[in-house]
Structure 1
Amino acid sequence: MNQLDENLSKHISGIPTTANNKMVKIEEEQQQQQQQQQPDSAVAKCGEQPADFETAIDAAGFGMFNILLLLVAVFAAMATVYETSTMSYILPSAECDLKLSLLDKGILNAITYAGMISSAIFWGYVADTKGRKKLLIFGYVADTICVVGCALSQNVVQLLIFKYLGGFIMSGPFAVLMTYLTEFHGRQYRQRIMMMVGIMFCIGTLSLPGLAMGILPLSLDINIWGLSLHAWQVFVAITAMPSILSCAFFPFFPESPKFLMSQGRNQEALEAFKFIYALNTRQPRDAFPIKQLANEVPAKPNPQQPISDPESEPNKGQLKVAKSSLHSGLLQLRPLFVKPYLSLSLMVYLLNFCVLLGQNTIRLWMPQLFASITEYDQLISNQLPEGSDGGTSICNIVEFSVNRTRVQLDAAALDNPLAKCSVNISAAAYTNNLIVASAGLVSYILAGFLVNLVGVKRIMCLCLFTAGSCSLGMYWSSTSAATVALASGFVTMGSIAGTSLISASLGMFPTALRTMIVSLSMMVGRMGSLSGNIFFPALMSLGCLPPFLMVSFFMFFACLLGSFLPVKNKAILK
C-alpha cells in the first residue's frame, strides 16, 4: 500500500496542468451551485480531492438501486440453488424411468459439483479480467440452455452430461454474484448483504420443495417430437425460469465500480457511482459530490514515455484487458501461492472443503431420506399390530431406503409385470423439506441482525459446532419429528457457516484476487461436496453410524480451524 501511495503521488505530481484545470472546473461548478443552494462544506471538500472506493460508495448511499439489485439477485441465487439441488428432488420420482441405483443417485447429486470444480480457475480469471456484469449475463443464458437440456434427457447418460455442463457454467455466476453484490455496498452494509445472500438462497431452497409438491406427484406421460416427458422433466424445465429472469435483468445494471477502478477505468467507475447516487437520492447525476476518483492502478515508470493524463486510464485498462492471456492468468494466481496470502488461502480452502462436504452431503440426501420416511410410515407402520411402535429412527430409514432401491433396480431390469418398478410420490413427502427451508430463512434473518454485533467469525464457528452436534444427534433420533428437527438445525447452521466463510474471505483479499479466491475455495469445497455425495451412499450400505460420523467429524474440524481465521469486523475492501 505504501508503494501504491508513492506511485500515486508521483503520478499526480507529474500532471500539474491537468489537475489545475480540473480544480478550476470544480470551483466553477461549485460557484454555480452556490447560487442555487448553499452546499454542505463537507461535501464540497469531498469533491476537491480524488476519493477512494470506500468514500465514493458511501457517498452513493443506500436506496432504490440497492433494493432493485437485491431483488434481481434473488432470481440469480434461486438459479444457483436450482442448478445444484434439483437432482436430489427428482431421484425418488425418476428412479424407475432412469433405472437408478444407489450409486447412480450419489453420482447425479455430485456431477454438478464436478462441473463446477473443472471450471473454477477459468471463471475466476475471466471475472477478474473481463468484468462481473458480462459473466453474469452470459452465464445465466448458458445455464438456461443446460437446464432445458436436462429436462429433455431420455436416459441417465444424457442427464449426467447436461448436469455436468450446467455445473461448469454455474461456477462462474455463483462466485461473481457474491463479489458483485459486495462491491456495490459500503462497509456498514457489507456483512449484512452477505447474510441477505443467505436469505436469497433460503428463498430458493424454500421454493424448490413447493414446486416439487405441486408437480412431482402428478402422473404425466407426454410425448412430443419423439420425446417422452414425465412429471420430473416438467419440474426440471420450470426451474430454468430464475436463470431466464437473471439474464434479462442484469443488463440494466452497471459494471462493478470497484472492478473498473482496479482496471484504471476511473471515468466509467465514476459514471457508475453517479448512476447509483441518482437512483438512491432522486438527485441529478451531476449532483454527486465526488468529481474525481483515486487511481488504484500502480504506475509503472517508463523513461521513454511520459506519464499520461488520468483521462487516458480507461484506454490503458482496456488495452491491458485486450492483451490478457494465459500467462497473465497464471501471474494473477501467483499471489495466492506466496506470502503473505499462502497460509491464509490454504486455510480458506480447507475450511470450504470441510464445510461443503458436510453441508451439501446431508442437504442433497435429505429429499431422498424424507421421501423414504414418508413411504416407510405408509408401508411399514400400517403393517404393524395396533398400538405397537416400529421406531421411525434414522437407522430404520437408512436400511429401508437401501433395500428399497435395490428391489426397485432389480424390478426395473425385469419384464415381469408382477415385478414392475413403481414410485410412490405424494405431496407429504416434501413437507419436511419446507420445514427445513423455513427454519433456514428465519435463522438467516436473525444472523443478519447479529453479524455486526457478534462478528462473522464467531457466528461461523458457533454454526459449525451446532451443525456437527446435529449430525451426530441424528444417529440417536428415534422419531421422524426428531430427525426433521435435527436435519433443520444442521442444514441451517451449515448454510450460515458457509455464507459467513465467503463473507470473511472477500474481506481478507484484495480486489484483483477476490473472485479468484472465492472460485478456488469453492472449487476445493465442491471437491468436498463431490466426495461426500459419493462416500455417503457407500457408507450407508455399510451401516447407519458411518455416514453421520463422517459428516460430524468434518464439521467439528472446520469449527476448530475457523477459530484461527484472522477476520476483522467491517474490514476495508482492499
Structure 2
Amino acid sequence: MGVVVENVNIGFVLPFIRCEMEISTTEQGLLNSVGYIGIVISSHMWGFLADTTGRRRVLLISMGGSFIFALLSAFSFNVFTLIMTRLFVGIFVSGVQAATYSYIGEFHSNETRTKTLSFVAMFMPACFVFLPLLAWVIIPMEWEWNLFDCMKISPWRIYLLLSSLLNGINFLCLYQLPESPKFLLSISRKNETLNVLKRMYSINMNIDKQTYPIKDLVTEPTGIALSKVRGIYGISNLVWNQTWPLFKRPNVGSTFQLCYLMFVLFSIGHGTFMWYPDFLTKMQDYIDGSYTLCDIVGMRVLPSSIQRGLNSSLESDDSVSSIVLTKCNVDRSNTLTFKIILMMGAVFVTISALISVYINKVDRKKLLIGWLLLCSGFSASISVIPHFYVMAICFMIFLSCGLCGGIISAISITIFPINIRAMATCLILMFGRLGAVGGSNFVGILLNGHCELIFYLYGILILSCSFVCFYLNTNPVEPSAFTKHKAIEVKCET
C-alpha cells in the first residue's frame, strides 16, 4: 500500500501544484511519472540486494529513505526540488516492492502462501480509499500562509505530508520483526533460522519457544551473502549469477510471460488511472448531456463556461481571445471526483478481500482469464457510452484488471526458487512500472486525435493477456532431489 500511495498521491494535487508553481505541461507530465522512473532505474539493484543482504534490511532502508524524501517533497520550494525529491521517493519505494512479497511469502508454506499474498494485495487498492478520503478532508480547506517568504504552505503540502506517514509507520512496525527464515537458511545461517522459527512457534501457539519440536534443519545453500563477496569483479559476477537463471530453462518462459502480463496490467491499472481523476473532472461540466468520454476529453465540444464566453464575445464584437482563461483557478469545493474514486477503492478492496478468501478454492488461471475477458469487453465500450455515471462505472471495471497484478505477484513467488525469488519479483514489477510510464504517455499522445483508439487497443492487449494466462505455469517450485534426500535421512535418524 505504501508503494502505491507514493506513486499516485501526486495526481490528486497536481492542479494545485500547477497553479502555485506555474509549471508547464511538460513538467506536469514529468512530475506524474518521475516516481515510476525512479522505480525502474533502481529495481535491479534492490532485487539484487534483497537476494544477497536480506529482505528485512532492504525493506528497512527503503521504507526509511522513501519516508524522508516524501517529507522533503512536501516542503519543496520550486518545481526542480519537487521533481528531484519525488524521483528519490520512487527509487526507495522500489526497494519496498522488490522485497515485500518475498519477505511475507517466505514465512508461509505452499498451502497458505497464495492466500496470504492475495490478502496482502488487498491493501494495494486500499490506497484508493485512503487517498481520496484524505484529499476530501484536506484539499477543500481555504487557508495558506507564507513561510520565510520563499514557500507558500497550503493544503496540498499537508496532504503530501500526511500521506507520507504511511511508510514511516511501516518502518517502525517492521523494525520489530525478524528476517525471513527461508532466506537465512538459503545462506546457511541455520541457528538464526531456528531462532526465528522458535519465535514464530511461540507467538502462534502461545507457549514457550523452548518447546519447539524441531531441533535441526536440512540445509541446501542456494544463495550467497553479499558480505562474503570481495571486489568489483566478485560483485559483478554475483549480480550476473542472480540474474541469468531467470533467462534459462526452466524459468525463461515464466519470466517473459509474467513480465508481459505486468507491463500491460500496470499500463492500465496505474498509467491510465493517472488520467482518471482528470477525466472525471472534465466530464462533470456535461453531467446532464449526452456526450461520450472522447467527445469531452478529446475537446470535440467546449465546456459550457467557454461556450457562453464565445457567444457573448461574438454578440459584442469582442475578440475571441479575450475569453481565454489566463488566471489559474481550481475549484477546491468540487469533491465529486474524490467521492467516485473513494467508491472505486471500496469496491476494489472488497473484490481483493473475496479473492484472498477464495483463492485456494478456485482455479487461479481460470479466474485470471475470466476477469481479463470481462475487462476487455468494458474497455471497448467506454468510448461510446454517453452517460457520465455509466461511463464512470465502466471505467472502474476496466481499471480493475490492475488488481490481477496482485494474483500474478503471488504466483511469481511460488514458481521461482528462493535464491532468485526477489530478483524475479523485482524484474517483473520493473516491467510493470515501465508499463505504467508507457501507459500514461500513450494516453496523452493519442487523447486529442485518436481517443477511441486508446480503448480499442487496450481491449486487444487485455485479450492477449488472457491467452498468455492460458499457458502460464502456476505450479509451485518443487524441492530439489538433494533436499528430499536429506529430509529422508533426517527422518530415518530420528
CA distance in 1, matches of 2:189, 2:63: 26
1:140 aligns with 2:63: yes
Asked if structure 1 preserves the Cα contact closer than 8 Å seen for 2:21 and 2:79, the reply is yes
Change (3 A) 1:213 1:317: closer
What does the per-residue CA deviation read over 1:325-365, in whole Å, with 9 as the maximum and x for residues that have no partner?
Answer: 22211121121122222232122212211121122122221
Q: Secondary structure at the match of 1:200?
A: coil
The 5 A counterparts of 1:163-242 are: 163-225=86-148, 226-242=150-166
Q: What amino acid is the match of 1:479?
A: H
CA contact (8 A) 1:123 1:519 kept: yes
1:210 Cα deviation (Å)? 0.1
Distance 1:573 1:238, change over 3 A: farther
Q: Deviations over 1:437-465 (max 9, x none)?
A: 01101111221233112222222222222
User: Within 1, Cα distance between the matches of 2:32 and 2:470?
Assistant: 31
SS in 1 for 2:441: helix
**2:409 — aligned with what?**
502
**Contact between 1:352 and 1:498, CA under 8 Å: does it hold in 2?**
yes
1:472 paired with 2:353, answer no
1:350 to 260, 272, 281: 260
CA apart distance, 1:100: 4.5
- Tell me which residue corresponds to 2:167: 243
Question: What percent identity do the matched residue pairs reach?
Answer: 24
Select the residue among 428, 431, 437 that pairs with 2:336. 428
CA distance in 2, matches of 1:329, 1:348: 21
CA contact under 8 A between 1:372 and 1:400: conserved in structure 2? Answer: no
Structure 1 residue matching 2:298: 3-state secondary structure: helix
Task: Look up the SS of the partner of 1:258 in the other structure.
Answer: helix
- 2-side partners of 1:362 and 1:469: how far apart? 17
Q: Partners of 2:230 and 2:166 in 1: how far apart?
A: 32
Deviations 1:365-408 (A, max 9, x none): 1122222233x14xxx6xxxxxxx5225312331359978xx9x
The aligned residue for residue 6 of structure 2 is 83
* Alignment partners' CA distance in 2, 1:246 and 1:210: 20
CA distance in 2, matches of 1:193, 1:238: 28
Matched residue type, 1:346: F
CA distance in 1, matches of 2:462, 2:215: 49
* Residue 160 (structure 1) aligned with residue 160 (structure 2): no
CA distance 1:484–1:124, change in 2 (3 Å) = same
Note if contact 1:84-1:167 (Cα within 8 Å) is conserved in structure 2: yes
Secondary structure of residue in 1 paired with 2:125: helix
Confirm or deny that 1:284 pairs with 2:247. no
Partner SS for 1:201: coil
Matches within 5 A, 1:58-97: 77=1, 79-97=2-20
Residue 325 (structure 1) aligned to one of 220, 235, 238? 235
For the 8 Å contact 1:467–1:555, the answer to whether it is kept is yes
- Please list every run of 5 or more consecutive structure 1 residues that lacks an aligned counterpart in the other structure: 1-76, 300-315, 382-388, 408-413
- The one-letter code sitting in structure 1 at the alignment partner of 2:152 is S
Cα displacement (A) at 1:504: 1.1
Q: Is the 8 A contact 1:437 1:488 kept in 2?
A: no
Is residue 390 of structure 2 the alignment partner of residue 482 of structure 1? Answer: yes
Residues 1:251 and 1:418: Cα distance change in structure 2 (over 3 Å): closer
Distance 1:527 1:334 in 2: 21
Q: Distance in 2 between matches of 1:339 and 1:100?
A: 49
Please list the CA deviations of residues 185-217 of structure 1 after superposition, one character each: whole Å capped at 9, or x if unmatched. Answer: 222221111211121112222111000111112
| CA root-mean-square deviation | 2.6
Cα 1:448/1:268, change in 2 over 3 Å: same
The residue number in structure 2 matching 1:25 is none
**1:89 partner amino acid:** F
Question: Does the aligned pair in 1 maintain the 2:269–2:403 contact within 8 Å?
Answer: no
Q: 1:458 aligns with which of 351, 366, 375?
A: 366
Q: Is the 8 A contact 2:132 2:341 kept in 1?
A: yes
Structure 1 contact 209–433 (Cα < 8 Å) conserved: yes
SS of aligned partner of 1:228? strand
Q: CA deviation at 1:103?
A: 4.6
Indicate if the aligned counterparts of 2:53 and 2:226 stay in contact, CA closer than 8 A. no
Counterpart residue number, 1:365? 275
Q: CA deviation at 1:166?
A: 1.0
Q: TM-score, normalised by structure 1?
A: 0.75
- Residues 496-545 of structure 1 show CA distances to partners (whole Å, capped at 9, x for unaligned) of 21111111111111001111011111111211111111121111121321
Distance 2:430 2:78 in 1: 28
When Rg is computed on C-alpha atoms for both structures, the one with the higher figure is: 1
Deviation at 1:238, TM superposition (A): 0.9
Aligned mates of 1:559, 1:460 — CA distance in 2: 7
Shift of 1:148: 1.4
CA distance 1:269–1:497, shift in 2 (3 Å): same
Given the superposition, is the C-alpha separation of residues 524 and 210 from structure 1 closer, same or farther in structure 2, using an over 3 Å criterion? Answer: same
CA deviations on 1:481-501 (whole Å, 9 max, x unpaired) are 112211221222x23211111
- In structure 1, give the amino acid aligned to 2:81: Q
> Contact 2:268–2:399 at 8 Å: present in 1 too?
no
Asked if 2 retains the 8 angstrom alpha-carbon contact of 1:354 and 1:525, the reply is: yes
Q: 1:13 maps to what in 2?
A: none
1:365 counterpart letter in structure 2: W
Query: Match for 1:396 among 295, 312, 320?
Result: 295
The count of residues paired between Structure 1 and Structure 2 equals: 460
**TM-aligned CA deviation for residue 90 of structure 1:** 1.1
Which consecutive unaligned segments of at least 5 residues does structure 2 have?
307-320, 481-494
Q: Find the aligned partners of 1:521 and 1:401 in 2 and give their Cα distance.
A: 39
